[in-house]
């Protein structure tokens, strides 16, 4: 049981559906800006929250048909000329703690230069909230561990619901209410699979493939594997993996595919090719995959379901390697810099 483990990471992974539910409630109660008031939307963050921004920006543009992109907060701060234009801009800043230096400074500069409005998504009502025009705080996503799991997933649910509301897609918002139940069922059914794959130390390199809104989540899964297990890990878009990276594939390789519905035929072919090269292949998707969601939730807003199984895979691998998943090597929960 989750309550019996000495590690906060495990408890946080297993309890995250409750935080997803709160994220949906927070978005439902929030007064949001109007999409038509902006020419572009920028999502920003650092590390995990930059990867969240990649996924959220892709989803925002997909649902609204408006221009959206993601940029690391450090780039927005130090190289804003490569990011900002004279267009009316909405900045969505994502930070678990609300205290990350690059994000705070980038938002301060953005506001000082009167570039546009700011929406903050976080797990703590801290410094970032004081700078934003709209605050989306999912407090049940708060964590004791350093590597983001529950916080990332709950902020991503909030970001996805934000995108759906900005697009006026109330049908998608209603469907998202099924996510917490689907997440609980998924972890109950797939944890043994995640454990066996993670604990297999004969496998020494992991590649996470995802395209569209799933690429940012592939990046995050890769980061969890690096942080928690000190294992060689990289993310790629599905079709890009054939253009060089597949040279690294052998019998010690795991290739994880975040499968979509619309492009499934092409993605499955990539996984099939890697299996023929000797890789262990793990496909995640709604159906007909090694890990099946069977959620009945529309593809555009069910993407958080990719996360728990991959988080559990990293957690069990950390234990198998004798590492502390709560305190990854060389890392702190909040990065503060003298800028």
Q: All domains of the chain, ordered by start, with CATH?
A: 2-176 (3.40.50.10490), 179-320 (3.40.50.10490)
Judge contact between 167 and 35, C-beta under 8 A. Answer: yes
Q: What's the pLDDT score for residue 335?
A: 61
Q: What's the pLDDT score for residue 3?
A: 46
Q: What's the pLDDT score for residue 28?
A: 97
d(CA 101, CA 84): 20
Judge contact between 167 and 63, C-beta under 8 A. Answer: yes
d(CA 83, CA 88): 13
Q: What's the pLDDT score for residue 126?
A: 81
Element (H, E) at 162: helix 150-166
Q: Model-level pTM? A: 0.96
Q: What's the pLDDT score for residue 129?
A: 87
Q: What's the pLDDT score for residue 5?
A: 76
Ranges of the chain with pLDDT below 70: 1-4, 331-337
DSSP structural state of residue 335: -
């Amino acid at each position: 049981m989750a309550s019996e483990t000495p590690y906060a990471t495990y408890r946080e992974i297993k309890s995250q559906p409750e935080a997803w539910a709160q994220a949906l409630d927070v978005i439902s109660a929030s007064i949001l800006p109007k999409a038509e008031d902006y020419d572009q939307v920028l999502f920003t963050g650092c590390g995990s929250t930059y990867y969240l921004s990649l996924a959220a920006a892709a989803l925002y543009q997909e649902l609204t048909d408006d221009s959206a992109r993601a940029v690391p907060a450090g780039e927005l701060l130090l190289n804003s000329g490569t990011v900002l234009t004279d267009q009316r801009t909405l900045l969505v800043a994502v930070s678990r703690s609300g205290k990350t230096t690059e994000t705070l400074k980038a938002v301060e500069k953005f506001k000082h230069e009167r570039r546009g409005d700011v929406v903050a998504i976080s797990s703590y009502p801290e410094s970032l909230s004081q700078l934003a025009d709209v605050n989306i705080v999912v407090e049940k996503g708060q964590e004791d561990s350093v590597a983001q799991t529950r916080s990332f997933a709950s902020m991503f649910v909030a970001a996805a619901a934000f995108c759906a509301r900005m697009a006026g897609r109330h049908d998608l918002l209603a469907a998202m209410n099924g996510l917490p139940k689907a997440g609980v069922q998924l972890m109950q059914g797939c944890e043994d699979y995640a454990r066996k794959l993670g604990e297999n130390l004969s496998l020494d390199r992991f590649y996470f493939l995802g395209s569209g809104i799933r690429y940012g989540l592939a990046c995050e899964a890769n980061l969890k594997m690096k942080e928690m297990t000190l294992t060689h890990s990289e993310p790629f878009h599905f079709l890009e993996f054939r253009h060089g990276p597949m040279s690294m594939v052998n019998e010690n390789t795991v290739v994880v595919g975040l499968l979509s519905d619309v492009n499934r035929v092409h993605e499955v072919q990539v996984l099939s090719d890697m299996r023929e090269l000797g890789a262990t292949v793990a496909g995640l998707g709604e159906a007909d995959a090694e890990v099946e969601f069977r959620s009945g939730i529309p593809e555009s807003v069910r993407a958080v379901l990719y996360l728990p199984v991959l988080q559990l895979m990293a957690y069990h691998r950390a234990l198998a390697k004798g590492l502390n998943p709560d305190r990854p090597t060389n890392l702190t929960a909040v990065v503060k810099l003298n800028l």
